[in-house]
Amino acid sequence: MNLRLAFQIARTHLLAKKKQTLVAMLGVTFGISMFIVMISFMTGVNDFLFDIAIDGSPHVRLYNPVESSQPSPARKLYDSSHTVMVSGKRPKNELPRIKNGLKIAAEIAKMPGVTGVLPQAVSQVFFNNGPVQLPVTIVGTDADKEIQMYGLDKKMESGNIQDMKTGDDALLVGSGLAEKMNIRGGDRFSVTTPEGGIFMLKVAGTFSTGVGAIDDTRAYADLKTVQKLLNKNPDYITDIHIRLNDKEAATALRDQLTETYGYKAEDWKEANAALLAGESIRYFMTAVISLTLLIVAGFGIYNIMNMNIINKMRDIAILKATGFEGRDVVAIFLLQALLIGFFGGLLGLFIGFFFSYLISLAPFPAGGIFKVDTFPVNFKTLFYLAGLWFGMVTTLFAGYFPSRKAARIDPVEIIRG
Amino acid sequence: MQPVLKASSIVKTFTEPAPFQVLKGIDFEVRRGEFLSIVGKSGCGKSTLLYILSTMDTAYEGRLEMNGSLLTGLSQNRLAQFRNAHLGFVFQFHYLLPEFSALHNVMLPALKLGRYSHSEVEERAMDKLRKVDMAEHALKNASRLSGGQQQRVAIARALINDPAIIMGDEPTGNLDKNNTQRVIGIFRELASEFGQTIIAVTHDPDFAESGDRIIEMTDGLITGERILQS
């Protein structure tokens, strides 16, 4: 049969009862707009957190935590058939350093897939702010590598990152820290090291990563500056940061490094486990909620189509009496359902976009942990196409069964009453 | 000459609430151009017979031929196609589609048949509306027409595909005296001037007396027949 004729009849039916058609559409509209808002927002948040994790972390970090988890010497004498219990174990007076750190770093740099290696000397120190002592993590590092691997130059708030290299007392201070100490570029202040030494350092600049935990507690200096501060030789390395070609290879490299060198290694996933933990939960929630909304919308359409068809039984009987076949009737009502799905869906896309846009303008109360002003929202064509597609599939199913029922109506029963 | 309709040994049994034979064996023929009325008391089975003849009721025993084709045993879809091309119906209640204009209501069966272009169908529909004196209301919405007007539009719709037979189920049953006379006049004219075959079930003696032949039914059987002088 002419689909065009079915379409004309379907359209006439829908336009004749505008209010009812609108109500049917609203179910789909609501479901799809919620879907768009949720997925745009959820993926925005996920991507945002992921970027923070990736930006600030090395893919793999090699370091030497001073722990008691070394197996006790007694274990080396007795094999696993013996039970060894040692109490009161204390760590040796070991330095948290990586022996032959520079040599190891050079070896790692040659490994396949490695795009950057950054040896650091990290220590806890105290910044002296009058009588108050602020605990700070001072990172002795290489300015150019920090620029290459972490874009530290882009995070500078004042001063020039290259000034870190001049003299042996230049320091880059986190913005939160600078505020607490009330210092800025050019100021001098004193620093107390773990060994008890007191040194005067100069602020060469301030930086802001957006992560409050870092900006409030970290300072960067040239590797040699920190080594001198700690009274260690130029070979003193506590951390090796590694960047890879393919971040998914990080876990394998981590295990390989621990095996080869014996030191602890951590990949970016471990380092950001808390941040990333919520990701799959958020995706799952989005899927479940959107699906539920669409199913409910589908039921709404099913009900409305059923009602529609009950109201139209006489019309169907007449159509059949004048020679319309069962499949013509199916076409007419299925098209009605599809039109409702299409236009309801389109409206849902617009409303979804509108609210997504509003959300992207809303201030994000990240509580000072992350510096971001407004909610992160993703606008992707794929979401909108998927949303419309889901809406139409839902209406297709919702409309199909009532349409088939309509096609089976016995005209004689209806006409004879 | 071959009859335009031939019914042989038509038997119909209802099963609810208890098995009951409503048609006990009907045989008759209709000539082309004949205006036939079927009359009888309520419950005699005349409407049941009409709906079997309409091809919409396929639950019967016996044989039905129309226009030289055997219709018994055909699928619902094939019968729908036959109805579309060769039959026209006028019911007691007007059964126009309320969302469409009078003109569009008349056009629909022709658009379905697909034999003519849209504009040709529109022209032909206007022509049929003129025949029933409803041309000036062509673009009015069907729900806005009076009972008599709707019935005349329904007649125009029944005519749109130039059917071999027009079948009516109490076509004047719901009309007042004036409109009844008008409709009788239209049917009379269709039969005598245009040679249209008409089979109608009716309670209205005036309607029956304006035709060519009356068949009387009682308790599922044909019990009488009258040829009328025109």
Say if strands B61-66 and B5-14 run parallel, antiparallel, or are unpaired.
Answer: antiparallel
Q: Is the CB of residue A31 less than 8 Å from the CB of residue A341?
A: no
Question: What is d(CA B47, CA B43) in angstroms, rounded to the nearest whole number?
Answer: 9
Q: Are residues A396 and A265 in the same domain?
A: no
Q: Is the CB of residue A170 less than 8 Å from the CB of residue A221?
A: yes
What residue numbers bound the domain in which A151 lies? 60-67+95-271
A12 to chain B: closest CA residue:
B99
Say if A72 falls within a structural domain. Answer: no
Residue count of chain A: 417
Task: Provide the strand spans (E) within A4-110.
Answer: 60-63
Q: What's the alpha-carbon Rg for chain B, to the nearest Å?
A: 17
Say if A402 falls within a structural domain. Answer: yes
Q: Which of A214, A244, A271 is the last residue of a domain?
A: A271
CA B141, B147, B149, B151 dihedral sign is positive
Q: Which of A238, A271, A304 is the last residue of a domain?
A: A271
Q: Are residues A181 and A198 in the same domain?
A: yes
Instruction: Residue A324: list chain B partners with CB under 8 A.
Output: 80, 84, 112
- Going by pLDDT thresholds of 50, 70 and 90, the confidence category of residue B12 is very high
> What H or E segment, with its residue span, contains residue A128?
strand A114-129
Cβ–Cβ gap B57/A13 under 8 Å: no
Mean pLDDT of chain B: 93
Give the pLDDT score at A71: 60
Cβ–Cβ gap B77/A325 under 8 Å: yes
Give the pLDDT score at A214: 86
Give the pLDDT score at A64: 85
Q: Is the CB of residue B97 less than 8 Å from the CB of residue A315?
A: yes
> Residue B99, class by beta-carbon neighbours within 10 Å (0-12 exposed, 13-18 middle, 19+ buried)?
buried
Q: Is the CB of residue A331 less than 8 Å from the CB of residue A50?
A: no
Say if A265 falls within a structural domain. Answer: yes
Residue at token pair 């009330």: A182
Cβ–Cβ gap B89/A12 under 8 Å: no
Q: Are residues A229 and A242 in the same domain?
A: yes
Q: Are residues A252 and A304 in the same domain?
A: no
Say if A325 falls within a structural domain. Answer: yes
Cβ–Cβ gap B89/A322 under 8 Å: yes
Mean pLDDT of chain A: 85
Is the N-terminal amide bond of A71 cis, ω within 30° of 0? no
Give the pLDDT score at B229: 67
Cβ–Cβ gap A322/B112 under 8 Å: yes
Say if A83 falls within a structural domain. Answer: no
Residue that wins the pLDDT comparison between A305 and B82:
B82
Q: Name beta bridge partners: A266.
A: A61
Delineate the domains of chain B, giving CATH numbers in brackets.
Answer: 5-227 (3.40.50.300)
Q: Is the CB of residue A63 less than 8 Å from the CB of residue A239?
A: yes
Residue that wins the pLDDT comparison between A417 and B50:
B50
Two tokens, residue B127? 């022509």
Give the pLDDT score at A233: 87
Say which of A322, A325, A416 has its CB closest to residue B109. A322
Q: Where are the alpha helices (DSSP H) in A120-174?
A: 143-150
Instruction: Residue A314: list chain B partners with CB under 8 A.
Output: 95
Helix and strand counts by DSSP (H, E) for chain A: 15, 10
Instruction: Residue B51: list chain A partners with CB under 8 A.
Output: 412, 415-416
Instruction: Residue A4: list chain B partners with CB under 8 A.
Output: none
User: Helix, strand, or coil here: A42?
Assistant: helix
CA angle B65, B68, B71 (to 5 degrees): 35
Question: What ipTM did this prediction achieve?
Answer: 0.90
Q: Is the CB of residue B191 less than 8 Å from the CB of residue B215?
A: no
Instruction: Residue B71: list chain A partners with CB under 8 A.
Output: none
Is residue B230 predicted with pLDDT exceeding 70?
no
Two tokens, residue B55? 């091809």
Say if A194 falls within a structural domain. Answer: yes
Say if A80 falls within a structural domain. Answer: no
Instruction: Residue B98: list chain A partners with CB under 8 A.
Output: 16, 315
Question: What is d(CA A305, CA A24) in angstroms, rounded to the nearest whole number?
Answer: 9
Q: What is the pLDDT of residues B178-199, one digit of tens each?
A: 999 999 999 999 999 999 999 9
Two tokens, residue B112? 């379905």
Q: Is the CB of residue A214 less than 8 Å from the CB of residue A194?
A: no
Q: Are residues A207 and A294 in the same domain?
A: no
Indicate the number of domains in chain A.
2
Q: Are residues A99 and A185 in the same domain?
A: yes
Q: Where are the alpha helices (DSSP H) in A223-375?
A: 223-229, 250-261, 268-271, 273-311, 313-321, 326-361
Q: Which residues, other chains included, contact B99 with Cβ-Cβ below 8 Å and sequence gap of 6+?
A: A12, A13, A15, A16, B141, B142, B143
Cβ–Cβ gap B112/A328 under 8 Å: yes
Give the pLDDT score at A366: 62
Give the pLDDT score at B109: 94
Give the pLDDT score at A92: 64
A416 to chain B: closest CA residue:
B47
Cβ–Cβ gap A322/B95 under 8 Å: no
Q: Are residues A152 and A296 in the same domain?
A: no
Two tokens, residue B168? 């009516």
Say if strands A156-159 and B5-14 run parallel, antiparallel, or are unpaired.
Answer: unpaired
Chosen for mutation from A318, A319, A324 (greatest number of chain B CBs closer than 10 Å) is: A318
Residue count of chain B: 230
Say which of A2, A15, A325 has its CB closest to residue B80. A325
Q: Are residues A252 and A299 in the same domain?
A: no
Say which of B100, B109, B169 has its CB closest to residue A323. B109
Q: Are residues A234 and A290 in the same domain?
A: no
Q: Are residues A197 and A338 in the same domain?
A: no
Say if A244 falls within a structural domain. Answer: yes
B77 to chain A: closest CA residue:
A325
CA distance A359 to chain B (A): 43
Residue that wins the pLDDT comparison between B63 and A232:
B63
Q: Are residues A174 and A207 in the same domain?
A: yes
Instruction: Residue B107: list chain A partners with CB under 8 A.
Output: none
Give the pLDDT score at B152: 94
User: Helix, strand, or coil here: A122?
Assistant: strand
Give the pLDDT score at A347: 94
Q: Are residues A104 and A166 in the same domain?
A: yes
Q: What is the pLDDT of residues B65-80, one digit of tens each?
A: 998 899 999 999 999 9
Task: Compute the count of residue pairs across chains A and B with CB atoms less than 8 Å apart.
Answer: 70
Residue ranges of chain A with per-residue pLDDT less than 70: 1, 67-76, 90-94, 365-372
Give the pLDDT score at A159: 86
Chosen for mutation from B112, B117, B143 (greatest number of chain A CBs closer than 10 Å) is: B112
Give the pLDDT score at A69: 57
Q: Which of A271, A292, A312 is the last residue of a domain?
A: A271
Q: What type of residue sits at position A230?
A: L
Cβ–Cβ gap A321/B84 under 8 Å: no
Give the pLDDT score at A133: 86
